[in-house]
């Protein structure tokens, strides 16, 4: 039963994507650069906490914050470049998700590749917590693999 639902969902998504491929962008589409100076950004997320921040994931191992005024904050929200293996295009800090109860527990999750001696890099999903002192900085030592 789950396999049938998954197949149906994939068929629906792929069918929708095929129809989008033939669509033209609206005449009123206006793209604007919000920030510059990013190093290989791969994702942007919001925490849903009402603070209007956007969290930008950089492949080498940093998560940066763009505040509600479109300013790139000078201090990284999370910097795990010392743990991340990002030598090839499909490696690095690749994902960020905020806990559904983020406003209460301050947990978020990241996915990154890391080096294993004598092996190809492996992938890891870890939970971190925001610092108790500053909502714009994560506690790097709170990693729970």
What pLDDT, on the 0 to 100 scale, is given for residue 6?
Answer: 43
The confidence score (pLDDT) of residue 19 equals 53
Distance CA 11, CA 19 (A): 12
**Which residue, among 53, 19, 18, 17, has the nearest Cα to 34 in the 3D structure?**
53
Nearest-5° angle of CA 120, CA 60, CA 117? 25
Q: How far apart are CA 145 and CA 137, in angstroms?
A: 19
**Separation between Cα atoms, residue 126 and residue 143, nearest integer Å:** 6
Task: Name the pTM for this structure.
Answer: 0.77
Mean pLDDT of residues grouped by 10 in the chain (145 residues)? 42 49 72 86 93 94 94 95 83 94 96 84 94 95 96
């Amino acid at each position: 039963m789950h396999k049938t639902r998954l197949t149906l969902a994939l068929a629906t998504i792929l069918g929708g994507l095929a129809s989008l491929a033939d669509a033209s962008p609206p005449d009123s589409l206006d793209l604007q650069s919000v920030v510059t100076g990013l190093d290989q950004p791969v994702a942007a997320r919001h925490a849903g906490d009402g603070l209007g921040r956007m969290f930008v994931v950089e492949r080498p191992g940093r998560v940066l914050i763009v505040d509600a005024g479109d300013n790139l904050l000078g201090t990284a929200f999370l910097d795990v470049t010392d743990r991340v293996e990002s030598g090839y295009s499909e490696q690095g800090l690749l994902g960020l998700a905020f806990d559904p109860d983020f406003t209460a527990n301050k947990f978020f999750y990241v996915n990154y590749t890391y080096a294993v001696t004598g092996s190809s890099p492996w992938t890891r999903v870890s939970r971190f917590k925001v610092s108790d002192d500053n909502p714009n900085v994560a506690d790097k030592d709170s990693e729970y693999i």
